[in-house]
């Protein structure tokens, strides 16, 4: 049992919540800046592929570095590693704020992902060392509440800054949080380390990172640079899959692997993680195209677009405890399967979004989507972890967190590529009469088409760009709806109630 007095426990938890805010604010705030970053005059003139990398590279490095973070904390002390993560996150945030090219922004975002990966596992470890078992679940719940606050505050504060300053100001949000976290960590946090130090697994880190990079590169570039028939696209995807297979094989042979593929022998663990990856895939992809819908096709200010995220954030906050209570009573299959079906419906309702659709309707659909996400993620995660024996819960939690981040990476790669490639095909007839150079430049994205329309005094191209973008967005929404509906079916079949497992799942879901 922890010997730390309750007053200090509360101070420790406060510092960990403040540090966790960085992860969640940064996961949402960039979406508000996408439209400005794509602008060739006020932004960096980033292409859709470059913007996909700017979002996806953060999740990719976050996912692959998670396991190394825990091992580093065991070896050098979790406060030490957490403070290192804060320093890396703060420095790379300043780098991103003053990035002078899309490539520089992408590299800065990758570094931010590494810094963010050092914060999560170390925070959980410090909570485990600080709080006794009877108070630990409540402390984790409070720590997790930073997600709702970050998701709600990030887009609004980011929109306010973009409307009054330059696009890079959204990254400066992180600097005062980093300063407060560093000061609090130094003064308040303990520095526990494990007597049994885990290996760092550089081979696994390298194989998983390069494998995901290869798959992501092929998916993104295939939709932007000349189509899918080029050998470079297929070779990149194939090489990425081979590297990922090598990663799984190397982890399978390890006695204590960082990422344990043997856990997937459990049908419910495998199905639940697959479904959660799909949820984050469609959620991240939807966030990507809705940012361009609100600020591009509809011409909203960044602040107004940020405010439009509040109904969804409120839905997540309400849906998480509601879903946990209902799943404890009626079972994960019924509650989460129904919630996923509702989320699929929300994707399908994106088909009703036009340039003049009522914002009230957009907010209602967003609130329903958030409610469905909250009612799915929290109880499904708890039920997945409940399938494991106590001595495997730590390993299972690490796998669960990594799988979610991988889903986010693939969401931007898959749905973002669908939007981009569909747009380029849809806008092509409207650009047919332009000179070759102007046509190539204008066909990259809706933002490029609108810019070209002003430069060559062709206002008709603005309407054509909006129509082509809406067609592309609707296509991606249909794909997302199919993904999510398939997930609902998989989850329902995998978690059909069985008497022998009901108490264990219900107990964990209720906690």
Contact 323/335 with Cβ under 8 angstroms?
A: yes
Residue 6: partners with Cβ closer than 8 Å, 6 or more residues away: none
The pLDDT value given to residue 471: 94
| pLDDT tens string 401-440 | 778 878 888 888 888 888 888 888 888 888 887 877 777 7
Given a cut of 50, whether residue 262 has pLDDT beyond it is yes
Name, in order, each residue with C-beta under 8 angstroms of 17's C-beta and a sequence gap of 6 or more.
142, 143, 145, 146
C-beta separation of 491 from 275 below 8 A: yes
pLDDT of residue 145: 64
CA distance 119 to 507: 28
**Does residue 194 carry a pLDDT above 80?**
no
Could you give the percent of the chain with pLDDT greater than 90? 18
Per-residue pLDDT at 312 exceeds 60: yes
pLDDT recorded at residue 112: 92
In three-state secondary structure terms, 428 is helix
DSSP secondary-structure letter at 294?
Answer: I
Mean predicted confidence (pLDDT) in 281-299:
87
- Per DSSP, helices labelled H in 223-266 are 231-253
Measured between alpha carbons, how far is 60 from 37 in angstroms, rounded to an integer?
A: 21
Q: Over the chain, what is the mean pLDDT?
A: 82
Instruction: Kindly indicate the confidence band of residue 302, based on its pLDDT and cuts at 50, 70 and 90.
Output: confident
Better pLDDT: 106 or 406: 106
Asked whether 189 and 71 are in contact (CB, 8 A), the reply is no
Distance CA 175, CA 181 (A): 10
Provide the 10 A C-beta neighbour count for residue 138. Answer: 12
Q: Which residue has the tokens 């904390």?
A: 73
**Per-residue CA distances from 458 to 463, 464, 467 (Å):** 10, 10, 15
Cβ atoms of 424 and 447 closer than 8 Å: no
Cα separation values, 306 from 30, 43, 132, 403, Å: 11, 18, 39, 27
Tokens of 53: 């990398």
Could you tell me if 335 and 326 are in contact, meaning their C-beta atoms sit under 8 angstroms apart?
Answer: yes
Let me know: does 343 contact 487? Beta carbons within 8 Å: no
pLDDT of residue 146: 67
Which pLDDT tens digit goes with each residue over 16-63?
Answer: 888 888 887 877 788 788 888 888 778 888 887 788 888 888 888 887
Encode burial over 301-338: b for 16+ CB neighbours within 10 A, e otherwise.
Answer: ebbbbbbbbbbbbbbbbbbbebbbebbbeebbbbbbbb
Residue 302, CA distances (Å) to 42, 160, 217, 247, 294 in order? 13, 7, 29, 41, 9
77: left (phi over 0), alpha (psi -120 to 50) or beta: left
pLDDT tops 70 at residue 144: no
pLDDT the model gives residue 42 = 81
CA atoms within 13 A on the CB side of 456: 18
**262 three-class SS:** helix
- Per-residue pLDDT tens digits for 2-13: 567 778 888 888
State residue 223's pLDDT score: 63
Residues in Cβ contact with 440 at an 8 Å cutoff, skipping those fewer than 6 apart: none
Q: Tens digit of pLDDT for each residue in 320-377?
A: 788 878 887 888 888 889 999 999 999 999 999 999 999 999 999 999 999 998 888 8
């Amino acid at each position: 049992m922890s010997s730390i007095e309750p007053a200090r426990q509360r101070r420790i938890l406060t510092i960990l919540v403040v540090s966790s805010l960085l992860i969640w604010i940064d996961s949402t705030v960039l979406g508000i800046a996408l439209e400005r970053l794509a602008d060739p005059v006020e932004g960096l003139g980033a292409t859709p592929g470059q913007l996909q990398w700017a979002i996806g590279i953060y999740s990719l490095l976050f996912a692959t570095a998670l396991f190394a973070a825990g091992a580093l904390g065991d070896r050098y002390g979790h406060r030490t590693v957490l403070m290192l993560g804060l320093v890396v996150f703060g420095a790379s945030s300043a780098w991103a704020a003053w990035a002078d090219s899309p490539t520089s922004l992408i590299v800065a975002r990758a570094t931010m992902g590494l810094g963010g990966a050092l914060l999560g596992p170390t925070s959980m470890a410090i909570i485990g060392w600080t709080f006794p078992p009877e108070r630990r679940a409540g402390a984790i719940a409070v720590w997790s509440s930073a997600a709702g606050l970050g998701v709600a505050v990030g887009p609004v504060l980011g929109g306010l800054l973009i409307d009054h300053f330059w696009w890079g100001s959204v990254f400066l949000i992180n600097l005062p949080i980093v300063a407060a976290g560093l000061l609090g960590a130094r003064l308040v946090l303990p520095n526990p380390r494990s007597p049994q130090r885990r290996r760092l697994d550089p081979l696994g880190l390298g194989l998983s990172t390069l494998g995901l990079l290869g798959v992501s590169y092929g998916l993104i570039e295939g939709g932007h640079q000349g189509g899918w028939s080029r050998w470079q696209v297929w070779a990149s995807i194939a090489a990425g899959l081979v590297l990922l297979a090598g990663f799984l094989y190397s982890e399978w042979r390890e006695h204590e692997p960082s990422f344990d593929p043997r856990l997937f022998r459990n049908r419910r663990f495998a199905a639940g993680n697959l479904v959660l990856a799909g949820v984050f895939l469609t959620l991240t992809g939807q966030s990507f195209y809705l940012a361009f819908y609100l600020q591009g096709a509809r011409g909203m200010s960044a602040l107004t677009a940020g405010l439009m995220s509040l109904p969804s954030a409120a839905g997540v906050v309400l849906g998480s405890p509601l879903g946990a209570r209902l799943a404890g009573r009626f079972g994960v299959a019924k509650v989460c399967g129904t919630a996923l079906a509702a989320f699929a419906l929300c994707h399908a309702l994106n088909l009703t979004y036009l340039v003049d659709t009522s914002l009230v309707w957009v907010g209602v659909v967003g609130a329903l989507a958030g409610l469905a996400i909250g009612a799915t993620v929290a109880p499904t995660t708890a039920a997945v972890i409940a399938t494991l024996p106590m001595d495997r819960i730590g390993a299972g939690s690490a796998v669960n967190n990594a799988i979610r981040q991988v889903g986010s990476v693939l969401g931007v790669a898959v749905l973002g590529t669908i939007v981009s490639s569909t747009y380029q095909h849809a806008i092509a007839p409207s650009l047919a009469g332009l000179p070759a150079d102007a046509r190539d430049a204008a066909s990259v994205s809706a933002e490029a088409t609108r810019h070209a329309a002003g430069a060559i005094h062709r206002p008709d191209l603005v309407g054509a760009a909006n129509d082509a973008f809406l067609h592309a967005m609707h296509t991606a929404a249909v794909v997302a709806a199919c993904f999510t509906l398939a997930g609902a079916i998989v989850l329902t079949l995998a978690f059909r109630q069985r008497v022998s497992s009901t108490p264990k799942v219900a107990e964990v879901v209720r906690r």
